[in-house]
Amino acid sequence: MDIKALIRDIPDYPKPGILFRDITTLLRDPKGWQYTINTLAEKCSPFAPEYIVGMESRGFLFGTPLAVHLGTGFIPVRKPGKLPSAVYSVEYELEYGTDRLEMHQDAITPGSKVLIVDDVIATGGTAAATAQLVEQSGGELVGFAFLAELTFLNGRKNLPDVPIVSLIEY
Ligand code: AMP
């Protein structure tokens, strides 16, 4: 199935020069969406994850159905101040300035296998920061899964050396 055809391109969003890959048009397509999750599940099941970690907010959209499909737990990584219990926190670089991601300290049972999931990998900054949170909690990172990869940004080079699944390349 041509999933790329179901993703809408929005030029100059959220700012001039960015070609935004809008996945809402994929989410609303019953067959395309089911195919996407089935295919991600097929490619990720060999890693035998016990937890899927997804980043706010589009990582939730892809990570939760994938977790149900693979029979794993789901752990949300959130923007600062959103999680109610004690958190690990990681600061990471943006194009201008820095941002921060948080995860509950008791979410990952140390030693368990973790797959990190998001919709798009661009520079890899978000995924790399999430990998640091997994490391802080003593989880064993077994891979990353993305719907789409912006290969011209080479975000892979910023990630730890584990398998990376992506269904579409731009
Ligand atoms: P990254 O630069 O890899 O840290 O990407 C940060 C986040 O921005 C990811 O979670 C992506 O969902 C989102 N993102 C970055 N670039 C795009 C794009 N061109 N279209 C859609 N989402 C994007």
Could you read off the pLDDT tens digit of each residue along the chain, which spans 170 residues? Answer: 999 999 999 999 999 999 999 999 999 999 999 999 999 999 999 999 999 999 999 999 999 999 999 999 999 999 999 999 999 999 998 878 899 999 999 999 999 999 999 999 999 999 999 999 999 999 999 999 999 999 999 999 999 999 999 999 99
Cα 122 to ligand 1 centroid, rounded to whole Å? 5
Q: Is 149 in the pocket of ligand 1 (CB under 6 A)?
A: no
First and final C-alpha spacing in the chain: 17
Q: Mapping DSSP to helix (H, G, I), strand (E, B) and coil, where does residue 62 land?
A: helix
Residue type at position 5: A
Burial 80-97 (b: 16+ CB within 10 A, else e): eeebeeebbebebeeeee
Question: Is this prediction's pTM over 0.85?
Answer: yes
* Positions marked active-site: 58, 95
